[in-house]
Chains A and B, each alone.
Chain A
Amino acid sequence: MAERAYKIAVIGAGPAGLSAAARAAEVGVSHVLLEGAPHLSNTIYRYQKGKLVMAEPTVLPLRSTIDFEAGSRERVLSVWDEAAARLRVNVRHGAEVAVVGGTQGNFTVSLAGGEVVSAEFVVLATGLQGNLRKLGVPGENLPFVQYQLDDPDEYENETIVVVGAGDSAIENAVALSAHNKVIIINRRDDFDKAKEGNRTAIERAIQDSVIECLYNSAPVRAEAASDRNGKPGVLVVKTASGEVALDCDRVIARLGAMPPRKFVESCGIEFPNNDPNAVPAVSAQYESNVRGLYIIGALAGYPLIKQAMNQGYEVVEFIEGRAIEPADEPVLRDKFRAVVEIRSVSSALEVIKKNVPVLSGLTTLQLREFMLDSVIRAPKRGEILFELNDYSDTFFSIVRGGVDIHVDPNDASKHVALTKGDFFGEMSLISGRRRNATVTAGERCILIETPRRSMNKLINSVASVKRIIDDTFLRRAIQSQIAPELPAEALREVVASARIERFNAGKVLFKEGDPGDSLHLIRKGSVTVARDIGGRERVLSYVAAGNYVGEMALLTDSPRSATVRASIETETIRLDGTAFKALLSRWPDIQGKMQSKARDLLAGQSAKVQQSPEGAGDLISFLVNQGVGEATDVLLIDETLCVRCDHCEKACAETHGGTSRLDREAGPTFAFIHVPTSCRHCEHPHCMKDCPPDALRRAPNGEVIILDSCIGCGNCETNCPYGVIQMAVKEEPKPVNLLSWFLFGKGRAPGEEISGHHDAGAAKIATKCDMCKDLAGGPACVRACPTGAAIRVSPEQFLTVTRGTTLDRS
Chain B
Amino acid sequence: MHESFLAYRKFLYLKLGVGLIVLSIGAYALHEPPHGPNGGTWLGYTLGTIGAGLILWLLFYGIRKRQYHSKLGQVSGWLSGHVYLGSALLVVATLHCGFKFGWNVHTLSYVLMIMVIVSGAYGIFTYVRYPTLLTDNKGGMAIDAMLSEIGDLDRQCLQIAAEMGDKAHQMILRSIERTSFGTTSWRDALGGVSKGLEDLGREIKSIAGDAEPPAPLPAAIPQIGGEATVFFVADQLAGFRDSARAALGHRLLDLITSKKALVIRVQRDIVYRKLLKSWLSLHLPLSIALLAALTVHVVTVFFYW
Contact = CB atoms under 8 A, between A and B. Distances in A.
Interface of A: 208, 636, 638-645, 647, 650-651, 654-655, 665-666, 668-670, 672, 674, 736, 738, 750-751, 775-777, 780, 782-789, 791, 793, 797-798
A636 B2 CA distance: 9
Contacts of A738: 63, 66
B76 A786 contact: yes
A655 B1 contact: no
Nearest to A656: B68
14 contacts: A208-B155, A643-B126, A644-B134, A655-B69, A669-B135, A777-B70, A783-B70, A783-B75, A784-B65, A788-B5, A788-B76, A789-B131, A797-B1, A798-B1
B3 A788 contact: yes
B9 to A, nearest CB: 11
Name the 4 nearest CB pairs between A and B, nearest first. Answer: A638-B2, A788-B76, A750-B66, A654-B68
Nearest to A652: B68
Contacts of B126: 643
Interface in B1-60: 1-5, 7-8
B196 interface: no
Contacts of B192: 665
Nearest to A668: B140
Contacts of B78: 786
Contacts of B70: 777, 783
B5 A786 contact: yes
B4 A639 contact: no
B68 A750 contact: yes
Contacts of A645: 276-277
Contacts of B127: 643, 787
Nearest to A780: B68
B68 A643 contact: no
B79 interface: yes
A786 B71 contact: no
B277 to A, nearest CB: 8
A670 B135 CA distance: 10
A340 B7 CA distance: 60
B265 interface: no
Contacts of A636: 1-2
Nearest to A741: B66
A751 B68 contact: yes
A640 B2 CA distance: 10
B215 interface: no
B4 to A, nearest CB: 5
Contact of B68 (A644, A650, A669, A797): A650
B258 interface: no
B132 interface: yes
A787 B76 contact: yes
A674 B192 CA distance: 19
Nearest to A639: B135
B142 interface: yes
B2 A791 contact: yes
Given A639-B131, A669-B135, A777-B71, A644 B65 contact: no
Contact of B1 (A644, A674, A784, A793): A793
Nearest to A674: B135
Contact of B69 (A654, A668, A798): A654
Contacts of A208: 155
Contacts of B74: 782-783, 785, 788
Given A654-B69, A784-B65, A647 B75 contact: yes
A643 B131 contact: yes
Contacts of A655: 68-69
Most buried by A among B69, B192, B277: B69
Nearest to A789: B2
B273 interface: yes
Given A672-B132, A751-B66, A788-B8, 9 more contacts: A639-B134, A643-B126, A643-B127, A643-B131, A643-B276, A645-B276, A784-B75, A786-B5, A791-B1
A462 B252 CA distance: 67
A640 B131 contact: yes
Interface in B268-305: 273, 276-277
A651 B4 CA distance: 19
A258 B9 CA distance: 58
Contacts of B5: 641, 786-788
Contacts of A791: 1-2
B68 A665 contact: no
A672 B135 contact: yes
Nearest to A749: B66
A792 to B, nearest CB: 11
A666 B65 CA distance: 23
Contacts of A674: 135
B280 to A, nearest CB: 9
Interface string B75-109: 11011000000000000000000000000000000
A785 B273 contact: no
A786 B79 contact: yes
A784 B5 CA distance: 12
Contacts of A644: 131, 134, 273, 276
A793 B134 CA distance: 24
A787 B276 contact: no
Contacts of B131: 639-644, 789
B66 A785 contact: no
Contact of A787 (B79, B134, B273): B79
A641 B75 contact: no
A45 B38 CA distance: 83
Contacts of B134: 639, 644
Most buried by B among A650, A665, A788, A791: A788
A787 B4 contact: yes
B24 to A, nearest CB: 27
A776 B71 CA distance: 6
A247 to B, nearest CB: 27
A60 B7 CA distance: 56
Contacts of B4: 641, 787-788
B2 A641 contact: yes
A238 B126 CA distance: 61
B251 to A, nearest CB: 16
A171 to B, nearest CB: 19
A208 B151 CA distance: 12
Contacts of B76: 785-788
A788 B70 CA distance: 17
A668 B138 CA distance: 11
A639 B272 CA distance: 13
A649 B187 CA distance: 20
Nearest to A781: B68
B138 to A, nearest CB: 8
Nearest to B123: A643
